[in-house]
Chains A and B, each alone.
Chain A
Amino acid sequence: MSAATKTASSESLEEMNARINEENARLRKKATTRRRIGLFWSYFALVLITILMVFPLIIVLLVSFTPNAVTQTWPPKVIPSAFTLENYTSLFQRLPVGREMLNTVVFAGVVTIVSVFFDSLAAYGLSRVDFKGRGLLLGVLIATMMIPGMALLIPVYKLLAGMGLVNSYWGIIIPRMADVGGIFLLRQFFISIPKDLDNAARIDGAGEFRIFAQIILPNAIPAILTVGMFNFMGNWNDLLWPLIMTSKPETRTITAGLAMLTGHGSSVTPYGVVMAGALFPLCLCWWCSSSCKSDSLKALP
């Protein structure tokens, strides 16, 4: 009797186990299916957005190799019916592309190098040296960060015009040689470097500049790359500043040159030529950012 009960209950236990297992398997399967469906929609959304992101850039590439006559016909086609290199030859005839590229490299390059140097010097002073008025200075700099650069263009222009620096490299470069955003990002990063490092160096008799150059800078390379990259890209892509400061091809940057080429609102924009010109800055910028992006993004907030 008791044995029978025992077997019955153990049977029901087994049954229960089996049922639970089954239920578990069903739930797991449901979860997997749900995860798979979620994954499918994720891929779907990502592929859609990728097409949307890349599509205009592919159009730029295609149009730059299409004869203008084909580009200007209705209906438009995604894949053009003819191929040409004339846009590129025409671009070089219309714009001093080489000169404008050189101007842009000089402008963005020099600004980036000098301003990253000045910014990191200031960041060192503001994070490592305990001098009177440091708090006040920091407050003033935070307020400065909120002043839109656009609002200051007029006096800056007049000042530089007074010094005869309009249409010169100096004129577009000097005002950009320090930027508050860069100082703050670097200061934030410098604070995270342990002070014991510089104290050790100080005991060994290193001067402040040596500590800055040989201890702090090498430890802050990701932050310096970040600030440098955004600085370079910002200046390379800037339109308003070079548009105002340069009116001659000897100093005009490629972005300003391209903007002049669109005919400004008129409908006769030679798109093929413009796109051909657009590819130059695009390629260089893409190359520059992809080569240092991986390192530099680590320092972002």
Chain B
Amino acid sequence: MSAATHEAHKVAKENKKAISRRDMRTGILFTAPALIILAIFVFYPAVKTFLTSLTTDRINRSGKFVGLDNYLKLFQNQDFWTDIKNTLVYAVLYAPIVVIVALAFALLLNRKDLKFVGFFRTCMFLPFVISLTVAAIAWQFILSPSLGLVPYWFQQLTGVAHLNLLGTRETAMATIVFITVWKNFGYFMVIFLAGLQGISQELYEAASLDGASAWQKFRYITLPALRPTFNYVVIFGLIGSFQVFDQVFILTSGGPDRATETIVYRIYTEAFGNGKLGYASALSYVLLIMTLIVGLIQLYTNAKHEKEEIA
């Protein structure tokens, strides 16, 4: 009897082992193709970028090991701080504006008595579908001081000729933010709209019976229900805005006078224009660390909110 139990235990144990071995094999087989690609083109480069940032490598020949010299050079360079400032200014302007505009129009489109919702939604989504390159070229034409409609209209209205929004230090970055919001908010709006449609109507009816105002309904029903959507939108908006490149490349080339030069644009010019790979790698690592910090803050606040909601 006890021998039989023992035997059964042994068989069960071996079965378990076999199953876990089989699971291991299946797990590896299924994840392998993606993991191999990621290992070669993400994990390895992440390490390699750091190693390169410690050297004076150039695009066509390798240099020597210089330790943290590139970083020291970076931190002493005024232009580097300008790039950081520009990137942060862009992110701080872009992310909240795109979220607020998207939410506002999602709320508008969510009205039950509205007609042509599909038409409006498609029109707002349209610029998101085209490439940033095309959008930037179109706006460059419209804003062009010698050809564009906007400077012309501005002249008719105020008498000031040759309004140069993209060529003026004070307005260049704001204009780039405007164009990017114009292009992207439709996407975030559609996501918000999906979130809004998931909120049960009964909640609003109950609140109305209790005499809640429109603002209270928004504050205590809509916003909490949209929290997951909010998290998604904010993190993608922020991380995306650290990587702004296309608009700058086409619209201003970082000018005027470095007023729109962002980190990624600088990485591009240093690495592929000046060929200074070591220096550009150090810049890349600064960008990577900035992004990681934002990501971690986001993860942390997410976890905190989830805990609060459970408690």
B-binding residues in A (CB < 8 A): 35, 39, 42-43, 45-46, 49-50, 52-54, 56-57, 59-60, 63, 71-72, 74-76, 78, 118-119, 121-122, 124-126, 129-132, 134, 137, 141-156, 158-159, 174-175, 177-178, 180, 183, 208, 212, 233, 236-240, 244, 255, 258-259, 262, 264-265, 267, 269, 271, 274-275, 278, 281-282, 285-286, 289-290, 293, 297-298, 300-301
Partner of B41, one of A130, A175, A267, A274: A175
Interchain CB contact under 8 A, B126 and A57: yes
Min distance, Cβ B260 to any Cβ of chain A, angstroms: 12
Please measure, in the bound complex, the distance between the C-alpha atom of A158 and the C-alpha atom of B108, giving whole angstroms: 49
* Chain B residues positioned under 8 Å from A154 (CB to CB): 45, 49, 52, 267, 271, 277, 280-281, 284
Partner of A208, one of B26, B44, B287: B26
* Chain A residues positioned under 8 Å from B34 (CB to CB): 118-119, 121-122, 178, 183
B99-117, CB < 8 A from A: 105, 108-109, 111, 113-114
Min distance, Cβ B261 to any Cβ of chain A, angstroms: 13
User: With A129-B26, A154-B49 given, is the CB distance from A285 to B114 under 8 Å?
Assistant: no
Interchain CB contact under 8 A, B27 and A240: no
Interchain CB contact under 8 A, A49 and B124: yes
**Stretch binding the partner chain, chosen from B6-14, B71-79, B245-253:** B245-253
User: With A118-B34, A237-B132 given, is the CB distance from A275 to B108 under 8 Å?
Assistant: no
User: With A151-B287, A154-B271, A154-B284 given, is the CB distance from A53 to B124 under 8 Å?
Assistant: yes
Other A-B pairs, 10, CB within 8 Å; known A45-B105, A54-B126: A49-B124, A59-B149, A122-B34, A125-B27, A125-B28, A148-B287, A151-B287, A175-B40, A208-B30, A240-B245
Interchain CB contact under 8 A, B131 and A39: no
Interchain CB contact under 8 A, B138 and A53: no
Please measure, in the bound complex, the distance between the C-alpha atom of A285 and the C-alpha atom of B152, giving whole angstroms: 32
B233-260, CB < 8 A from A: 239, 242-243, 245-246, 249-250, 252-253, 255
Interchain CB contact under 8 A, B135 and A56: yes
Contact sample, A vs B, 29 pairs, CB 8 Å cutoff: A45-B105, A46-B105, A50-B119, A50-B123, A52-B182, A53-B124, A56-B138, A56-B142, A57-B127, A59-B142, A74-B146, A125-B26, A129-B26, A132-B20, A137-B35, A147-B291, A147-B292, A150-B245, A150-B284, A152-B284, A154-B271, A156-B41, A174-B37, A177-B37, A264-B253, A269-B141, A278-B133, A278-B138, A285-B131
Partner of B129, one of A56, A264, A275, A286: A286
Q: State whether the Cβ of B224 lies closer than 8 Å to any Cβ in chain A.
A: no
Please measure, in the bound complex, the distance between the C-alpha atom of A131 and the C-alpha atom of B22, giving whole angstroms: 9
**Stretch binding the partner chain, chosen from B89-97, B168-176, B186-194, B215-223:** B186-194
Interchain CB contact under 8 A, A151 and B147: no
Interchain CB contact under 8 A, A297 and B190: yes
Min distance, Cβ B252 to any Cβ of chain A, angstroms: 8
Interchain CB contact under 8 A, B42 and A150: no
* Chain B residues positioned under 8 Å from A297 (CB to CB): 190, 194
Determine chain A's interface SS by DSSP, over half rule. Answer: helix
Partner of A144, one of B24, B38, B299: B38
* Chain A residues positioned under 8 Å from B137 (CB to CB): 60, 258, 262, 269, 271, 274-275, 278
Partner of A131, one of B26, B239, B249: B26
Interchain CB contact under 8 A, B120 and A147: no
Interchain CB contact under 8 A, B114 and A146: no
* Nearest chain B residue, comparing its CB with the CB of A119: B34
Interchain CB contact under 8 A, A237 and B131: yes
Chain A CB within 10 Å — which of B52, B133, B229, B287 has the most? B133
Interchain CB contact under 8 A, B133 and A121: no
Interchain CB contact under 8 A, A39 and B126: no
Interchain CB contact under 8 A, A129 and B267: no
Please measure, in the bound complex, the distance between the C-alpha atom of A233 and the C-alpha atom of B128, giving whole angstroms: 10
Partner of B45, one of A122, A141, A152, A236: A152
Partner of B271, one of A45, A141, A153, A300: A153
User: With A39-B114, A240-B246, A286-B126 given, is the CB distance from A122 to B31 under 8 Å?
Assistant: yes
Chain A CB within 10 Å — which of B132, B147, B271 has the most? B147
Interchain CB contact under 8 A, B108 and A46: yes
Min distance, Cβ A46 to any Cβ of chain B, angstroms: 5
Interchain CB contact under 8 A, A178 and B108: no
Interchain CB contact under 8 A, B243 and A148: yes
* Chain B residues positioned under 8 Å from A300 (CB to CB): 190-191, 194
* Chain B residues positioned under 8 Å from A240 (CB to CB): 245-246, 249, 264, 268
B255-300, CB < 8 A from A: 255, 264, 267-268, 271-272, 277, 280-281, 284-285, 287-288, 291-292, 295-296, 299
* Chain B residues positioned under 8 Å from A233 (CB to CB): 129
Partner of A56, one of B114, B139, B250: B139
Partner of B229, one of A52, A151, A301: A301
Please measure, in the bound complex, the distance between the C-alpha atom of A208 and the C-alpha atom of B41, giving whole angstroms: 28
Partner of B253, one of A147, A265, A282: A265
* Chain A residues positioned under 8 Å from B284 (CB to CB): 150-154
Please measure, in the bound complex, the distance between the C-alpha atom of A148 and the C-alpha atom of B129, giving whole angstroms: 22
